[in-house]
Structure 1
């Protein structure tokens, strides 16, 4: 599920970049987790994915003051191009099991949340692609007063990099593993129509080396890094239907010392943008910003990255049961490709959600991502088409089907992966006790 990029949530990660996780995105995806509504009362309409259906929501188990919601998602599917290459295309079936546990301490002044997830993927033949990942995250929402709130979040997890990612080494026998440790703090204060927010995020990534077919080590330590990002937002509500905001962020990306022909990718960068969060009549709602971004690399070996920043989303309520959402996101991402330090990524998505029945939601989306690499002559274009359906039988049982089609092309003197792949999957989610 792709939540719409609302103002507050989107601004927190304005300058945070990362590598996609290889958690299989398929029929075991979470269901029924609606995103929060827009700020300043822009809630005239409710999107399909936001609409609440309490008769199908899992019922938590109460243990004292705590609410526990256990669940397990079980899915099976087939990937027709497991290694994301032109040839030879090797397919395989897989089993995906994701047990989760959510613990909430509800309180009007101090709400605490803890989530644990274990992600297990097993393939029928290609056991080298098997994955055992996990993550633990939590948060605290503290209401100091009606005007001031504090949010703290933390994350630790082990993940694997998708074969489809641009910096996934083609020769490694197993997907590259890495861990993430992250902590975020945010303070929000409202002065009548003016709301200000400050966010500090610290993320550490540690990559494990891979091995090729001969057992030789494929070095990935040079990708280890710590990223510190500070973001400030000021938003002024002109009316309950529209607000204007300005946002600025600054990041420091500190890599492990590098000895060799390619220096460490240490850099500092910033983003500056202005935008609006709006609700136009009864049909359109969104948040858009435009500005400038730049990432400056400490070593002159790497060229700086700069360009126009565009980010946001627009929802169109075609009918009460059909929501169309368009998103755009332009940012600087890190990469582990030798000779390059990063790339400018432009991602555009169009999604449609249809509530066919109260307990049956159909979704379809198309996404294009363009990557322009620095320092090397290489540009990638990736298209992703996806269709899915979620059918809730009861508060405890939900069925899901998912079809994904992805292709990637690359041009330049330093070509990247070119491939086409299709994945189909079916799953069931069991929630509660």
Structure 2
């Protein structure tokens, strides 16, 4: 289950949308299990959700519009820039990320618009420089006390990480792609029952790269549009627990291919049931179990099916320590030659400690297991992170971030084995 954390701390520490910052970095934000819930489960507040009025940025108010400017500047060092098993090449980098957000608050129609630019510049390896951007727009229309309609649009240009399994080994520059997405969500709440319908359309367009010898590396075969429809019904047995059922259908349309490899068009579904809950004053979370399947149109491609599990749990060890765990298993698209996709299982565990009112320490780990379809390959990727965020004032925050990422791969066509370490420091200026 995907959650969007709405955190006061996020505005102070950083402002990056996840897709803009896949690598851990001192200009990133920090996530958490949200406490906002229609059934009022808010007896506990996590370390990252806790309000800090003395350190929360204040927007500039222009009539009914709230304007929030932010600027994050960071510098760091990556000791294995190309994610190679041997002959590691490192480089220092500078990252500048301005963002501006506009919000028109209203009880009936709330409007929002924000844009972010992400400039990544390396000291020596200028081929790895990236200029990314993202523009997001949203609207929440409160039709009645029981009915709401949420609309969101996104468009952005991104650079794929070298550590990604989809990144070609011989490419002289990272793969760039554009992403456009639109989502509509209708929610109806009646007494103890909440039902939601979600329609989502996402389109990705990948740019080609070249080898050191000048040969083209085709990436057009990855261009596709995904259509997804989801329905969720949730019933509260009590203020502390609710049961739900969820189902979704998707269609993934690739561009027509000319040549021996056909387009990887497919359709699939997910069916699941589960519960969201609050366990006294110590824990809050959700768990979804079910079945997923993806059927590929070309006969030479194998279909994928398996057990679905998605869950998250926030454990409030003390008022100053929150431990958060997540698990997510689903089918992902890939750019690896010969594979139609992979079954990914992600597990994370993180601890956040409020050492001081304005000093938050975090550390955690993530294991991502990939089982590729149509080829014999399995990957295990471990990521370890530690960070510290020091809120100096409403307008300024400092952050230190450490990350270690390793990957192992097995099978007849294994991927790369590598280890990559990164350290970065950053400062964020927000609001007035």
Aligned residue in 2 for 1:399 = 398
Cα distance change, pair 176–215 in 1 and its aligned pair in 2 (3 A): same
Aligned residue in 2 for 1:346 = 345
1:259 to 2:258 alignment: yes
Aligned residue in 1 for 2:12 = none
Aligned equivalents of 1:309 and 1:160: distance in 2?
30
Given that 1:255 and 1:265 are in contact with CA atoms closer than 8 Å, whether structure 2 keeps it comes out as: yes
Superposition pairs of residues 85-234 of structure 1, within 5 angstroms: 85-234=84-233
Aligned residue in 1 for 2:329 = 330
Aligned residue in 2 for 1:69 = 68
Superposition pairs of residues 398-417 of structure 1, within 5 angstroms: 398-417=397-416
TM-aligned CA deviation for residue 301 of structure 1: 1.2
Aligned residue in 1 for 2:298 = 299
Given that 2:5 and 2:32 are in contact with CA atoms closer than 8 Å, whether structure 1 keeps it comes out as: no
Given that 1:32 and 1:57 are in contact with CA atoms closer than 8 Å, whether structure 2 keeps it comes out as: no
Aligned residue in 1 for 2:314 = 315
Superposition pairs of residues 361-372 of structure 1, within 5 angstroms: 361-372=360-371
Aligned equivalents of 1:353 and 1:250: distance in 2?
36
Residue deviations 1:46-72, cap 9 Å, x none?
011111112111111111211000010
1:358 to 2:357 alignment: yes
Residue deviations 1:321-359, cap 9 Å, x none?
100111000000000111111000000001101111111
Residue deviations 1:392-420, cap 9 Å, x none?
00000000000000000000010101100
Residue deviations 1:371-395, cap 9 Å, x none?
0001100000000000001100000
Given that 1:34 and 1:49 are in contact with CA atoms closer than 8 Å, whether structure 2 keeps it comes out as: no
Given that 1:5 and 1:312 are in contact with CA atoms closer than 8 Å, whether structure 2 keeps it comes out as: no
1:248 to 2:259 alignment: no
Cα distance change, pair 116–217 in 1 and its aligned pair in 2 (3 A): same
3-state SS, counterpart of residue 37 of structure 2: coil
Large movers: runs of 4+ above 4 Å: 4-9, 19-24, 31-36
Aligned equivalents of 1:108 and 1:84: distance in 2?
49
TM-aligned CA deviation for residue 239 of structure 1: 0.6
Given that 2:35 and 2:41 are in contact with CA atoms closer than 8 Å, whether structure 1 keeps it comes out as: no
Report the TM-score when normalising by structure 2: 0.95
TM-aligned CA deviation for residue 25 of structure 1: 3.1
Cα distance change, pair 291–7 in 1 and its aligned pair in 2 (3 A): farther
Aligned residue in 2 for 1:14 = none
Cα distance change, pair 33–284 in 1 and its aligned pair in 2 (3 A): closer
Residue deviations 1:254-286, cap 9 Å, x none?
000112222111000100000000001111110
Aligned residue in 2 for 1:270 = 269
Instruction: Count residues in correspondence.
Output: 421
Cα distance change, pair 248–142 in 1 and its aligned pair in 2 (3 A): same
3-state SS, counterpart of residue 86 of structure 2: coil
Aligned equivalents of 1:5 and 1:82: distance in 2?
30
1:83 to 2:82 alignment: yes
Aligned residue in 2 for 1:37 = 36
Aligned residue in 1 for 2:9 = none
3-state SS, counterpart of residue 221 of structure 2: helix
Question: Aligned-residue CA RMSD in angstroms?
Answer: 1.8
Aligned residue in 2 for 1:279 = 278
TM-aligned CA deviation for residue 5 of structure 1: 4.9
Structure 2 stretches of 5 or more lacking a match?
7-17
Given that 2:5 and 2:34 are in contact with CA atoms closer than 8 Å, whether structure 1 keeps it comes out as: no
Report the TM-score when normalising by structure 1: 0.94
Given that 1:20 and 1:162 are in contact with CA atoms closer than 8 Å, whether structure 2 keeps it comes out as: no
TM-aligned CA deviation for residue 34 of structure 1: 8.8
Aligned equivalents of 1:225 and 1:185: distance in 2?
20
Superposition pairs of residues 42-61 of structure 1, within 5 angstroms: 42-61=41-60
Given that 2:5 and 2:33 are in contact with CA atoms closer than 8 Å, whether structure 1 keeps it comes out as: no
Cα distance change, pair 256–174 in 1 and its aligned pair in 2 (3 A): same
Cα distance change, pair 324–33 in 1 and its aligned pair in 2 (3 A): closer
Aligned equivalents of 1:22 and 1:397: distance in 2?
21
Cα distance change, pair 32–278 in 1 and its aligned pair in 2 (3 A): closer
Aligned residue in 2 for 1:16 = none
Aligned equivalents of 2:25 and 2:5: distance in 1?
28
Aligned equivalents of 1:232 and 1:8: distance in 2?
21
Aligned equivalents of 2:287 and 2:368: distance in 1?
18
Cα distance change, pair 280–247 in 1 and its aligned pair in 2 (3 A): same
Aligned equivalents of 1:39 and 1:386: distance in 2?
32
Aligned equivalents of 1:329 and 1:63: distance in 2?
42
Q: Which moved more, 1:30-39 or 1:180-189?
A: 30-39
Q: Which moved more, 1:405-414 or 1:52-61?
A: 52-61
Residue deviations 1:206-239, cap 9 Å, x none?
0000011011110000100000000000000001
